[in-house]
Amino acid sequence: MPQLLPLSRAARLVGISRGALQKRIQDNELQTFEGAVRVSDLLRVFPDVKLQDDSAVERARQIREQAIPKTEDDAALPAPEVLAHRLSSVSGELTSARHELAHYSTLVHALRAQLVKLDDGRLADTVAWLDTQLGALPNVPARKAELMAKDTFLRLIAAHVQFIPSGHDFLVEGNETILNAALRAGLLPHYGCTSGSCGSCKARVVSGQVLKVHDHSYEISRTEQNLGYILMCANTAVTELVLEVNEARKHNDIAVQKIRAEVRHAVPADDELYVLQVATPPDQRLRFFAGQSVRLQLADGSATTLPLASCPCDGQHLEFHVPRHDGDGFADALFQGHLGAGNGIDIEGPWGDFILPEDTHAPLVFLAHDEGFAPIKALIESAVASDQAESFLLIWSVSPGRRHYMDNRCRAWADALDNFRYQPVNDPAALQQNLNIALPDNAILFAAGPSEWLDALAGTVANTQFHQLTTD
CA distance 432 to 436: 6
Any idea what the Cα angle at residue 113 is, between residues 112 and 115, rounded to 5°?
65
CA distance 134 to 7: 35
Contacts of 226 (CB under 8 A, 6+ apart): none
Residue closer to ligand FES (CB basis): 106 or 217: 217
Residue closer to ligand FES (CB basis): 201 or 398: 201
CA distance 39 to 48: 15
- H helix intervals, 124-241: 124-135, 142-157, 178-184, 222-227
CA distance 311 to 375: 9
Residue closer to ligand FES (CB basis): 183 or 398: 183
Within 10 A of 34 (CB to CB), how many other CB atoms are there?
8
Residue 165: closest CA among 186, 148, 189, 130 = 189
- Residue 200 C-beta: closest distance to ligand FES, Å: 5
261 to 188, 192, 195, 324, 412: CA distances (angstroms): 21, 15, 18, 22, 30
Residue closer to ligand FES (CB basis): 152 or 197: 197
Residue closer to ligand FES (CB basis): 197 or 434: 197
Residue closer to ligand FES (CB basis): 56 or 68: 68
| Site residues for ligand FES per CB under 6 A | 191-194, 196-201, 218, 231, 233
Amino acid letter, 257? Q
- Residue 448 C-beta: closest distance to ligand FES, Å: 31
> Which residues in 21-88 belong to E strands, given as ranges?
36-38
Contact by Cβ (8 Å): 246, 203 = yes
- Residue 387 C-beta: closest distance to ligand FES, Å: 24
- Residue 354 C-beta: closest distance to ligand FES, Å: 26
DSSP state of 140: -
**Checking DSSP bridges between strand 169-173 and strand 158-164, what pairing results, if any?**
antiparallel
- Residue 312 C-beta: closest distance to ligand FES, Å: 15
Contact by Cβ (8 Å): 364, 266 = no
- Residue 257 C-beta: closest distance to ligand FES, Å: 13
Residue closer to ligand FES (CB basis): 198 or 237: 198
- Residue 327 C-beta: closest distance to ligand FES, Å: 40
For 346, the enclosing helix (H) or strand (E) is: strand 344-351
- Residue 224 C-beta: closest distance to ligand FES, Å: 13
Residue closer to ligand FES (CB basis): 224 or 328: 224
Residue closer to ligand FES (CB basis): 177 or 382: 177
- Residue 239 C-beta: closest distance to ligand FES, Å: 21
441 to 288, 436, 444: CA distances (angstroms): 29, 12, 9
Within 10 A of 460 (CB to CB), how many other CB atoms are there?
12
Residue closer to ligand FES (CB basis): 159 or 231: 231
- Residue 199 C-beta: closest distance to ligand FES, Å: 5
